[in-house]
Structure 1
Amino acid sequence: MASYELSAFDRFFDVSLVGAIEQVSPYTLNVGFWLRDPNQLVQYPELVAAHPRQDFLWNQTCFEIFVGVKDQDFYREINLSPSQAWQAYQFEEYRYPEDMPPVAAYDIELNQLKRTHYGLNVSLDLTEFMLANKLKWTDVFVGLSAVLATSQGEKYFAMQHSSPNADFHNKRDWLHQF
Protein backbone atom coordinates (compact mmCIF):
# COMPACT_ATOMS: atom_id res chain seq x y z
CA MET A 1 0.00 0.00 0.00
CA ALA A 2 1.35 3.40 -0.97
CA SER A 3 0.29 6.56 0.85
CA TYR A 4 0.48 10.22 -0.09
CA GLU A 5 0.01 13.37 1.91
CA LEU A 6 -2.22 15.56 -0.20
CA SER A 7 -1.39 19.26 -0.16
CA ALA A 8 -3.81 22.16 -0.16
CA PHE A 9 -3.58 24.44 -3.18
CA ASP A 10 -3.72 27.59 -1.06
CA ARG A 11 -1.43 26.37 1.75
CA PHE A 12 -4.35 25.76 4.10
CA PHE A 13 -2.90 23.94 7.13
CA ASP A 14 -5.94 23.65 9.44
CA VAL A 15 -6.91 20.35 7.79
CA SER A 16 -4.63 17.56 6.58
CA LEU A 17 -5.44 14.75 4.17
CA VAL A 18 -3.65 11.50 3.39
CA GLY A 19 -4.62 9.10 0.62
CA ALA A 20 -3.58 5.45 0.37
CA ILE A 21 -3.77 3.26 -2.73
CA GLU A 22 -3.75 -0.52 -2.87
CA GLN A 23 -4.20 -2.98 -5.72
CA VAL A 24 -5.91 -5.99 -4.15
CA SER A 25 -6.86 -8.41 -6.91
CA PRO A 26 -6.31 -8.54 -10.63
CA TYR A 27 -8.67 -5.59 -11.22
CA THR A 28 -9.65 -4.17 -7.82
CA LEU A 29 -8.39 -0.84 -6.55
CA ASN A 30 -8.82 0.15 -2.91
CA VAL A 31 -8.32 3.75 -1.81
CA GLY A 32 -8.56 5.26 1.63
CA PHE A 33 -8.67 8.94 2.51
CA TRP A 34 -7.68 9.94 6.07
CA LEU A 35 -8.79 13.41 7.05
CA ARG A 36 -7.47 15.26 10.09
CA ASP A 37 -9.79 18.12 11.00
CA PRO A 38 -9.27 18.99 14.69
CA ASN A 39 -11.36 22.18 14.49
CA GLN A 40 -14.20 20.47 12.59
CA LEU A 41 -14.06 22.91 9.68
CA VAL A 42 -15.09 20.43 6.96
CA GLN A 43 -18.77 20.44 6.02
CA TYR A 44 -20.31 17.12 5.02
CA PRO A 45 -23.33 16.34 2.83
CA GLU A 46 -26.18 14.26 4.26
CA LEU A 47 -25.85 10.47 4.01
CA VAL A 48 -27.79 8.71 1.26
CA ALA A 49 -28.78 5.06 0.89
CA ALA A 50 -27.82 2.53 -1.78
CA HIS A 51 -24.73 4.36 -3.17
CA PRO A 52 -26.46 6.19 -6.04
CA ARG A 53 -24.59 7.62 -8.99
CA GLN A 54 -24.96 11.40 -8.82
CA ASP A 55 -23.47 14.25 -10.82
CA PHE A 56 -21.91 17.47 -9.54
CA LEU A 57 -20.63 15.88 -6.31
CA TRP A 58 -17.69 18.32 -6.41
CA ASN A 59 -20.07 21.14 -5.42
CA GLN A 60 -19.77 19.80 -1.86
CA THR A 61 -17.04 17.90 -0.04
CA CYS A 62 -15.88 15.29 -2.55
CA PHE A 63 -12.91 12.93 -2.84
CA GLU A 64 -11.62 12.15 -6.32
CA ILE A 65 -9.57 9.47 -8.03
CA PHE A 66 -8.13 9.95 -11.52
CA VAL A 67 -7.07 6.89 -13.50
CA GLY A 68 -4.70 7.56 -16.39
CA VAL A 69 -3.08 5.25 -18.91
CA LYS A 70 0.59 5.61 -19.87
CA ASP A 71 1.11 7.01 -23.36
CA GLN A 72 -2.65 7.53 -23.85
CA ASP A 73 -4.81 10.65 -23.67
CA PHE A 74 -8.00 9.05 -22.29
CA TYR A 75 -8.67 8.79 -18.56
CA ARG A 76 -11.35 8.32 -15.92
CA GLU A 77 -12.42 10.56 -13.06
CA ILE A 78 -14.17 8.98 -10.07
CA ASN A 79 -16.02 11.25 -7.62
CA LEU A 80 -16.77 9.96 -4.13
CA SER A 81 -18.98 11.81 -1.69
CA PRO A 82 -19.01 11.34 2.08
CA SER A 83 -22.79 11.11 1.50
CA GLN A 84 -21.89 7.71 -0.04
CA ALA A 85 -23.02 8.80 -3.53
CA TRP A 86 -20.52 8.41 -6.36
CA GLN A 87 -19.96 8.84 -10.08
CA ALA A 88 -17.36 7.93 -12.71
CA TYR A 89 -16.65 10.02 -15.80
CA GLN A 90 -14.80 9.34 -19.04
CA PHE A 91 -12.58 11.77 -20.88
CA GLU A 92 -10.95 11.26 -24.28
CA GLU A 93 -8.24 13.80 -23.49
CA TYR A 94 -7.62 16.72 -21.13
CA ARG A 95 -11.10 17.85 -20.00
CA TYR A 96 -12.64 16.68 -23.31
CA PRO A 97 -15.45 16.31 -24.05
CA GLU A 98 -16.44 19.49 -22.26
CA ASP A 99 -19.98 18.34 -21.42
CA MET A 100 -21.41 19.31 -18.04
CA PRO A 101 -21.90 17.02 -16.35
CA PRO A 102 -19.14 15.01 -18.02
CA VAL A 103 -19.95 11.77 -19.85
CA ALA A 104 -20.57 9.00 -17.31
CA ALA A 105 -18.24 5.99 -17.43
CA TYR A 106 -19.84 2.62 -16.88
CA ASP A 107 -16.63 0.59 -17.26
CA ILE A 108 -15.74 1.17 -13.59
CA GLU A 109 -17.97 -0.22 -10.86
CA LEU A 110 -18.25 0.42 -7.15
CA ASN A 111 -17.58 -2.54 -4.84
CA GLN A 112 -17.82 -0.58 -1.60
CA LEU A 113 -17.94 3.05 -0.45
CA LYS A 114 -17.99 3.88 3.21
CA ARG A 115 -17.63 7.06 5.17
CA THR A 116 -15.60 6.36 8.29
CA HIS A 117 -14.80 8.33 11.42
CA TYR A 118 -11.43 9.19 9.85
CA GLY A 119 -12.49 9.82 6.23
CA LEU A 120 -13.57 7.58 3.38
CA ASN A 121 -12.83 4.08 2.07
CA VAL A 122 -13.62 2.88 -1.43
CA SER A 123 -13.14 -0.32 -3.39
CA LEU A 124 -13.47 -0.06 -7.17
CA ASP A 125 -13.77 -2.76 -9.81
CA LEU A 126 -11.72 -1.78 -12.87
CA THR A 127 -12.23 -5.12 -14.68
CA GLU A 128 -14.18 -3.81 -17.67
CA PHE A 129 -11.99 -0.69 -18.04
CA MET A 130 -8.76 -2.68 -17.94
CA LEU A 131 -9.89 -5.61 -20.12
CA ALA A 132 -11.53 -3.41 -22.79
CA ASN A 133 -8.31 -1.39 -23.09
CA LYS A 134 -5.98 -4.41 -22.70
CA LEU A 135 -4.28 -2.87 -19.66
CA LYS A 136 -2.00 -4.22 -16.98
CA TRP A 137 -1.46 -2.40 -13.68
CA THR A 138 1.93 -1.20 -14.98
CA ASP A 139 0.05 0.72 -17.72
CA VAL A 140 -2.01 2.66 -15.15
CA PHE A 141 -1.25 5.68 -13.00
CA VAL A 142 -3.48 7.28 -10.39
CA GLY A 143 -4.09 10.75 -8.99
CA LEU A 144 -5.84 11.49 -5.72
CA SER A 145 -7.53 14.79 -4.94
CA ALA A 146 -10.34 16.33 -2.91
CA VAL A 147 -12.59 19.34 -2.80
CA LEU A 148 -13.28 20.13 0.84
CA ALA A 149 -16.16 22.47 1.65
CA THR A 150 -15.10 24.17 4.87
CA SER A 151 -16.38 26.97 7.04
CA GLN A 152 -13.50 28.96 5.50
CA GLY A 153 -14.45 28.27 1.87
CA GLU A 154 -13.62 25.51 -0.60
CA LYS A 155 -10.15 23.98 -0.26
CA TYR A 156 -8.50 21.96 -3.02
CA PHE A 157 -6.18 19.08 -2.08
CA ALA A 158 -4.07 16.98 -4.47
CA MET A 159 -0.91 14.90 -4.59
CA GLN A 160 0.79 17.98 -6.01
CA HIS A 161 -0.22 21.21 -7.74
CA SER A 162 1.87 22.04 -10.81
CA SER A 163 -0.63 24.38 -12.51
CA PRO A 164 -1.13 28.07 -11.67
CA ASN A 165 -4.71 27.21 -10.62
CA ALA A 166 -6.04 24.15 -8.81
CA ASP A 167 -6.42 21.63 -11.66
CA PHE A 168 -7.07 18.01 -10.77
CA HIS A 169 -7.09 17.02 -14.47
CA ASN A 170 -3.37 17.78 -14.87
CA LYS A 171 -1.79 14.35 -15.41
CA ARG A 172 1.59 15.59 -14.16
CA ASP A 173 0.04 15.62 -10.69
CA TRP A 174 -1.11 11.99 -10.79
CA LEU A 175 1.86 10.47 -9.03
CA HIS A 176 0.98 6.85 -8.19
CA GLN A 177 2.34 4.15 -10.49
CA PHE A 178 2.01 0.40 -10.02
Structure 2
Amino acid sequence: MASFELSAFDRRFQAISVVGAIEQQSPFTLNTGFWIRDPNLMIQWPEAAASNPRRDFLWEQTCFEIFIGVHGEDYYREINLSPSEAWQAYQFEEYRYPENMPPQVAYDIELNQLKRTHYGLNVSLDLTEFMLVHKLKWSDLYIGLSAVLQTSQGEQYYAMQHSSPQADFHNKRDWLHQF
Protein backbone atom coordinates (compact mmCIF):
# COMPACT_ATOMS: atom_id res chain seq x y z
CA MET A 1 0.00 0.00 0.00
CA ALA A 2 1.28 3.45 -0.93
CA SER A 3 0.17 6.57 0.92
CA PHE A 4 0.35 10.25 0.03
CA GLU A 5 -0.22 13.35 2.09
CA LEU A 6 -2.41 15.56 -0.09
CA SER A 7 -1.60 19.25 -0.02
CA ALA A 8 -4.01 22.15 0.00
CA PHE A 9 -3.88 24.40 -3.07
CA ASP A 10 -4.06 27.36 -0.68
CA ARG A 11 -0.79 26.75 1.18
CA ARG A 12 -1.94 29.05 4.00
CA PHE A 13 -4.81 26.68 4.81
CA GLN A 14 -3.38 24.16 7.28
CA ALA A 15 -6.46 23.43 9.43
CA ILE A 16 -7.25 20.10 7.75
CA SER A 17 -4.94 17.28 6.69
CA VAL A 18 -5.78 14.64 4.09
CA VAL A 19 -3.91 11.40 3.44
CA GLY A 20 -4.74 9.08 0.56
CA ALA A 21 -3.70 5.43 0.32
CA ILE A 22 -3.72 3.21 -2.76
CA GLU A 23 -3.62 -0.57 -2.88
CA GLN A 24 -3.79 -2.80 -5.94
CA GLN A 25 -5.44 -6.16 -5.44
CA SER A 26 -4.98 -8.63 -8.23
CA PRO A 27 -6.18 -9.06 -10.72
CA PHE A 28 -8.34 -5.91 -11.23
CA THR A 29 -9.37 -4.38 -7.87
CA LEU A 30 -8.19 -0.95 -6.74
CA ASN A 31 -8.66 -0.07 -3.07
CA THR A 32 -8.28 3.52 -1.95
CA GLY A 33 -8.70 5.18 1.42
CA PHE A 34 -8.84 8.84 2.38
CA TRP A 35 -7.99 9.77 5.97
CA ILE A 36 -9.06 13.17 7.22
CA ARG A 37 -7.84 15.11 10.24
CA ASP A 38 -10.24 17.97 10.94
CA PRO A 39 -9.80 18.88 14.63
CA ASN A 40 -11.83 22.09 14.30
CA LEU A 41 -14.73 20.32 12.50
CA MET A 42 -14.57 22.69 9.55
CA ILE A 43 -15.66 20.24 6.82
CA GLN A 44 -19.28 20.37 5.71
CA TRP A 45 -20.35 16.78 5.05
CA PRO A 46 -23.17 15.90 2.60
CA GLU A 47 -26.22 13.95 3.76
CA ALA A 48 -26.07 10.16 3.42
CA ALA A 49 -27.46 8.56 0.25
CA ALA A 50 -29.00 5.11 0.00
CA SER A 51 -27.27 2.17 -1.71
CA ASN A 52 -24.34 3.87 -3.51
CA PRO A 53 -26.20 5.63 -6.33
CA ARG A 54 -24.39 7.07 -9.34
CA ARG A 55 -24.79 10.86 -9.28
CA ASP A 56 -23.32 13.73 -11.23
CA PHE A 57 -21.88 17.00 -9.88
CA LEU A 58 -20.60 15.42 -6.66
CA TRP A 59 -17.69 17.91 -6.72
CA GLU A 60 -20.16 20.68 -5.81
CA GLN A 61 -20.01 19.35 -2.24
CA THR A 62 -17.27 17.65 -0.27
CA CYS A 63 -15.97 14.99 -2.66
CA PHE A 64 -12.93 12.75 -3.09
CA GLU A 65 -11.55 11.92 -6.52
CA ILE A 66 -9.39 9.27 -8.15
CA PHE A 67 -7.88 9.86 -11.59
CA ILE A 68 -6.60 6.89 -13.58
CA GLY A 69 -4.16 7.63 -16.39
CA VAL A 70 -2.50 5.25 -18.84
CA HIS A 71 1.20 5.68 -19.73
CA GLY A 72 1.58 6.83 -23.34
CA GLU A 73 -2.15 7.46 -23.83
CA ASP A 74 -4.33 10.58 -23.70
CA TYR A 75 -7.52 8.94 -22.38
CA TYR A 76 -8.21 8.69 -18.66
CA ARG A 77 -10.91 8.11 -16.07
CA GLU A 78 -12.14 10.28 -13.20
CA ILE A 79 -13.97 8.69 -10.28
CA ASN A 80 -15.90 10.97 -7.90
CA LEU A 81 -16.67 9.65 -4.42
CA SER A 82 -18.96 11.42 -2.01
CA PRO A 83 -19.00 10.91 1.75
CA SER A 84 -22.77 10.59 1.18
CA GLU A 85 -21.74 7.25 -0.42
CA ALA A 86 -22.88 8.35 -3.90
CA TRP A 87 -20.33 7.99 -6.70
CA GLN A 88 -19.72 8.44 -10.42
CA ALA A 89 -17.07 7.54 -13.02
CA TYR A 90 -16.29 9.67 -16.08
CA GLN A 91 -14.28 9.06 -19.23
CA PHE A 92 -12.15 11.57 -21.08
CA GLU A 93 -10.42 11.13 -24.45
CA GLU A 94 -7.79 13.73 -23.56
CA TYR A 95 -7.33 16.66 -21.17
CA ARG A 96 -10.87 17.68 -20.12
CA TYR A 97 -12.28 16.49 -23.49
CA PRO A 98 -15.05 16.03 -24.37
CA GLU A 99 -16.16 19.18 -22.60
CA ASN A 100 -19.71 17.96 -21.82
CA MET A 101 -21.13 18.93 -18.46
CA PRO A 102 -21.61 16.64 -16.74
CA PRO A 103 -18.78 14.67 -18.35
CA GLN A 104 -19.42 11.43 -20.22
CA VAL A 105 -20.15 8.57 -17.81
CA ALA A 106 -17.70 5.65 -17.84
CA TYR A 107 -19.38 2.28 -17.44
CA ASP A 108 -16.13 0.29 -17.67
CA ILE A 109 -15.36 0.88 -13.97
CA GLU A 110 -17.65 -0.53 -11.29
CA LEU A 111 -17.97 0.05 -7.58
CA ASN A 112 -17.35 -2.88 -5.25
CA GLN A 113 -17.75 -0.88 -2.05
CA LEU A 114 -17.89 2.75 -0.89
CA LYS A 115 -18.11 3.51 2.78
CA ARG A 116 -17.73 6.58 4.91
CA THR A 117 -15.74 5.76 8.01
CA HIS A 118 -14.97 7.62 11.23
CA TYR A 119 -11.63 8.66 9.70
CA GLY A 120 -12.76 9.47 6.14
CA LEU A 121 -13.69 7.27 3.18
CA ASN A 122 -12.88 3.78 1.86
CA VAL A 123 -13.54 2.61 -1.68
CA SER A 124 -12.98 -0.57 -3.66
CA LEU A 125 -13.24 -0.30 -7.46
CA ASP A 126 -13.49 -3.05 -10.07
CA LEU A 127 -11.32 -2.09 -13.06
CA THR A 128 -11.83 -5.41 -14.89
CA GLU A 129 -13.61 -4.11 -17.99
CA PHE A 130 -11.45 -0.97 -18.25
CA MET A 131 -8.22 -2.97 -18.04
CA LEU A 132 -9.31 -5.87 -20.28
CA VAL A 133 -10.81 -3.75 -23.08
CA HIS A 134 -7.67 -1.60 -23.24
CA LYS A 135 -5.32 -4.60 -22.63
CA LEU A 136 -3.76 -2.93 -19.58
CA LYS A 137 -1.51 -4.20 -16.82
CA TRP A 138 -1.14 -2.46 -13.47
CA SER A 139 2.25 -1.14 -14.60
CA ASP A 140 0.48 0.74 -17.44
CA LEU A 141 -1.54 2.83 -14.96
CA TYR A 142 -0.81 5.84 -12.83
CA ILE A 143 -3.13 7.38 -10.23
CA GLY A 144 -3.98 10.84 -8.97
CA LEU A 145 -5.82 11.46 -5.72
CA SER A 146 -7.61 14.69 -4.90
CA ALA A 147 -10.36 16.17 -2.76
CA VAL A 148 -12.74 19.10 -2.84
CA LEU A 149 -13.62 20.05 0.72
CA GLN A 150 -16.48 22.38 1.51
CA THR A 151 -15.47 24.04 4.77
CA SER A 152 -16.58 26.85 7.04
CA GLN A 153 -13.66 28.78 5.46
CA GLY A 154 -14.85 28.13 1.88
CA GLU A 155 -13.92 25.54 -0.72
CA GLN A 156 -10.49 23.93 -0.32
CA TYR A 157 -8.72 21.84 -2.97
CA TYR A 158 -6.33 19.03 -2.05
CA ALA A 159 -4.12 16.97 -4.39
CA MET A 160 -0.91 14.96 -4.46
CA GLN A 161 0.73 18.11 -5.82
CA HIS A 162 -0.36 21.31 -7.56
CA SER A 163 1.77 22.26 -10.57
CA SER A 164 -0.75 24.55 -12.29
CA PRO A 165 -1.39 28.21 -11.41
CA GLN A 166 -5.02 27.23 -10.62
CA ALA A 167 -6.24 24.10 -8.82
CA ASP A 168 -6.51 21.57 -11.65
CA PHE A 169 -7.04 17.93 -10.78
CA HIS A 170 -6.96 16.97 -14.50
CA ASN A 171 -3.27 17.89 -14.77
CA LYS A 172 -1.58 14.52 -15.27
CA ARG A 173 1.76 15.84 -13.95
CA ASP A 174 0.13 15.77 -10.51
CA TRP A 175 -0.88 12.08 -10.66
CA LEU A 176 2.04 10.64 -8.78
CA HIS A 177 1.28 7.00 -7.97
CA GLN A 178 2.65 4.31 -10.29
CA PHE A 179 2.39 0.58 -9.85
Percent identity of paired positions between Structure 1 and Structure 2:
79
Find the aligned partners of 2:168 and 2:109 in 1 and give their Cα distance.
23
Partner of 1:2: 2
**Does structure 1 residue 115 correspond to structure 2 residue 116?**
yes
> Number of matched residues?
178
Instruction: State the alpha-carbon separation in 2 of the partners of residues 94 and 65 from structure 1.
Output: 15
Counterpart of 1:86 in structure 2 is: 87
- Distance apart, 1:24 and its partner CA: 1.2
Give CA-to-partner distance per residue, 1:30-86, whole Å, 9 cap, x none: 000000000000000000111000000000000000000000000000000000000
1:94-123 CA deviation, whole Å, 9 max, x = no partner?
A: 000000000000000000000000000000
Q: Which amino acid aligns with 1:96?
A: Y
Task: State the 4+ residue runs in structure 1 displaced beyond 3 angstroms.
Answer: none
Paired with 1:107 and 1:147, the residues of 2 have a C-alpha distance of 24
Gaps of 5+ in 1: none
In structure 1, the partner of 2:165 is 164
Equivalence for 1:176: 177
Q: Secondary structure in 1 aligned to 2:116? A: strand
Q: Which runs of 5+ in 2 are unaligned?
A: none
What TM-score, normalized to structure 1?
1.00
Q: Could you tell me the TM-score, scaled by structure 2's length?
A: 0.99
Q: CA deviation at 1:129?
A: 0.1
Partners of 1:141 and 1:159 in 2: CA distance: 12
Give the superposed CA RMSD.
Answer: 0.3
**Deviation string for 1:117-149 (max 9, x for gaps)?**
000000000000000000000000000000000
1:16 aligns with 2:30: no
